[in-house]
Structures are given as structure tokens and as C-alpha cells.
């Protein structure tokens, strides 16, 4: 196509995940998806302190995939799962047993990530503004949770974030 052609979009997607604490014991995470082909919402309730999914609901208002029209059984499967490491394999496996709707499992995952990131945000809010202290804050975080070492470019050898920190024992 010539460069002078208008660059009209052939596809657009918007996904929004939001988390709120509805009482001392319960958090709600909602993932809303709207794109050229699909419109859907998934909501989970998570109980503290175990971060156990105690309810999950959702609906595909618009979809081209027959397997995504009925979400109830797939969502019922994730009730009881705990939000945390290893959850992705579990969620994909459980939803996949009863539904071929990949988007459904992905939306549950997005809700769960939202819960984790809500806690991460609380923790990061404590990071000092001054750069030296800020670096020390992250170094301490890595030292206290050495599993973070090497988990991303920022925490990999060569980064100032891990200077002076012994890598996890091999």
C-alpha cells in the first residue's frame, strides 16, 4: 500500500483491570475487555489473608467464539484457587478442562495479577524518592526475597540493583 494511504485501524482493543478492597477481608478485581471482535467482563472476589478466590463471575456480551458464550462452568472451576506464584498453570489447567475459551482464562489471570499488583503498589509506595536511598530500598527488597534476583533485566547481574548481592545459591 502506498505511504499516502490513510492508516485506518483494522483492529483496536482496550482492556481495563481494576481492584478495590470492599471490606477488611475481601478484594474485588474486575477485568473488562472491549475490542473489534469481543466484549467481555470477568470479576473475582478474593478473601484475605489466604488470597483465595471465593467467587468468580463473568459474561461475554459479544464474541465470535462459540466456546466463550458460556462462562459459568469455567469460572466455577477457579473458586478455591489461591492468588500467588504458580497460579497461571493452575488457572489455565482448570478452566481448560471445561472450556476452550482462552480469553476466559486470560481474563481470570489478569484479575489475579491486579490483586498482586495492588499489594505491590502498597509496598512500592514506601520507596524513598532520593536516588541512593531508592536503590538501597530495592536492594533490600531483593535481599529479603532472593527469588527476585535475575527475574528481570533490572534485577539481573550488571544492574546496580543487585550490586553486592550474592546470587541465589546454585
Partner 1 sequence: MLKYMRKKMISIYRKDQDTLFVHGVLDDDIYSLELDLDISLADLEVLSITGKWNRWTTPECRRSDQFLQEAIGFRDEEGLSQKVHKVIGRKSCRHYANLLLECWHSAREAALAAKWEAAKADRPDLTFEAFLAGKTVSPSEVRAKVTGPRIEVSKGPKPGAKEIKILHEKADGGTLIDLHVHTSPASPCSSASVDALIEEAKSIGLDGICLTDHNYVWSASEVENLRRKHGFLILRGNEITTDQGDILVFGLDNDIKGIVKLNDLREEVERAGGFMIVAHPFRGFAVFGAAQIGLTPEKAMERPMLTLVDAIEVLNAKVTPHENKFAADVAAGLNLPATGGSDAHEVDEVGQYATQFFQEIKNEEDLVAALRSGDYSPVVYRK
Do β-strands 26-35 and 52-62 pair in parallel, antiparallel, or remain unpaired? unpaired
Residues 78-137 that bind partner 1 (CB under 8 A): 80-82, 84-86, 89-90, 93-94, 96-97, 100-102, 106, 110, 113-114, 116-124, 127, 131, 134-135
Residues 137-156 that bind partner 1 (CB under 8 A): 138, 144-148, 150-156
Find the shortest distance in angstroms from Cβ 49 to partner 1. Answer: 4
Cis link prior to 119 (omega < 30° from 0)? no
Cβ contact 154:161 at 8 Å: yes
Q: What φ, ψ does residue 60 adopt, rounded to 5°?
A: -100, 105
Find the shortest distance in angstroms from Cβ 59 to partner 1. Answer: 19
Find the shortest distance in angstroms from Cβ 136 to partner 1. Answer: 12
Which residue, 56 or 148, has its beta carbon nearer to partner 1?
A: 148
Q: Does 60 bind partner 1 (CB under 8 A)?
A: no
Name which position in 17, 42, 75, 112 contacts partner 1 (CB under 8 A).
17
Q: What φ, ψ does residue 101 adopt, rounded to 5°?
A: -80, 100
Which residue, 57 or 79, has its beta carbon nearer to partner 1?
A: 79
Beta bridge pairs of residue 52: 47, 82
Contacts of 109 (CB under 8 A, 6+ apart): 87, 88, 91, 92
Which residue, 72 or 127, has its beta carbon nearer to partner 1?
A: 127
Cβ contact 24:31 at 8 Å: no
Find the shortest distance in angstroms from Cβ 70 to partner 1. Answer: 14
Amino acid at each position: 500500500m502506498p505511504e499516502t494511504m490513510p492508516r485506518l485501524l483494522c483492529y483496536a482493543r482496550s482492556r481495563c483491570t481494576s481492584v478495590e478492597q470492599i471490606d477488611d477481608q475481601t478484594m474485588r478485581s474486575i477485568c473488562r475487555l472491549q475490542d473489534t471482535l469481543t466484549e467481555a467482563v470477568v470479576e473475582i472476589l478474593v478473601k484475605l489473608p489466604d488470597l483465595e478466590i471465593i467467587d468468580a463471575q463473568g459474561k461475554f456480551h459479544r464474541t465470535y467464539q462459540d466456546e466463550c458464550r458460556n462462562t459459568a462452568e469455567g469460572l466455577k472451576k477457579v473458586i478455591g484457587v489461591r492468588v500467588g506464584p504458580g497460579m497461571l498453570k493452575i488457572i489455565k489447567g482448570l478452566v481448560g478442562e471445561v472450556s476452550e475459551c482462552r480469553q476466559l482464562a486470560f481474563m481470570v489471570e489478569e484479575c489475579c495479577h491486579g490483586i498482586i499488583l495492588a499489594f505491590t503498589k502498597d509496598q512500592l509506595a514506601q520507596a524513598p524518592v532520593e536516588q541512593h536511598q531508592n536503590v538501597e530500598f530495592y536492594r533490600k527488597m531483593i535481599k529479603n526475597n532472593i527469588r527476585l534476583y535475575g527475574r528481570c533485566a533490572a534485577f539481573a547481574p550488571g544492574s546496580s540493583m543487585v550490586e553486592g548481592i550474592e546470587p541465589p545459591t546454585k
